[in-house]
Amino acid sequence: GQQSAIDPSPLPNREKKKRQRKKRKRQQQLSSYGSADEAEVKCAEAAGSFMTSQVFVFYFAKSVELTGVKQEEVTAVPTPISSRDLWNLLVQRHPRLSILQGQVVLAVRQQYVDIGDQVVTLGDGDEVAVVPPLSGG
């Protein structure tokens, strides 16, 4: 008879990728529950289980129209925080910002940060800018 050698390594690799996809999906689902995150932040803050910072947020272009403010102080921002969670926190404060989803970038300490899984560590007094796409031309 013929023997066929089956390489077992692709299977674990596929399983690993499948698990990673599930984990990413779960994290996305979790980060979409704003009020639960907010409640969790308040509980954790009360328990002193992680750091929070007070930051200054500056709004530019379309984001000024949507929020009605050019800048504001935001207290009790958990740190470190993913840029996506930071964006979600700002959208909780100003729900009209959500129309900029997928178009806006954040600048943290004058460094552009795409909204995603990138983790930023914020210190008291740090500046965060909301930079929508510039129109015109």
Find the DSSP H helices in the chain: 10-31, 34-47, 62-67, 83-93
pLDDT of 133 reads 86
CATH number of 10-131: 3.10.20.30
pLDDT of 2 reads 56
β-bridge pairing 127-131 and 51-59: parallel
Query: What is the token pair recorded at 97?
Result: 């910002």
- Is the CB of residue 62 less than 8 Å from the CB of residue 28? no
pLDDT of 17 reads 66
Query: pLDDT by residue (tens digit) across 36-76?
Result: 445 445 555 454 557 999 999 999 999 999 999 999 999 99
- Return all residues near 6 (Cβ < 8 A) that are at least 6 apart: none
pLDDT of 33 reads 45
Domain chopping of the chain, boundaries: 10-131
The model's pTM is 0.63
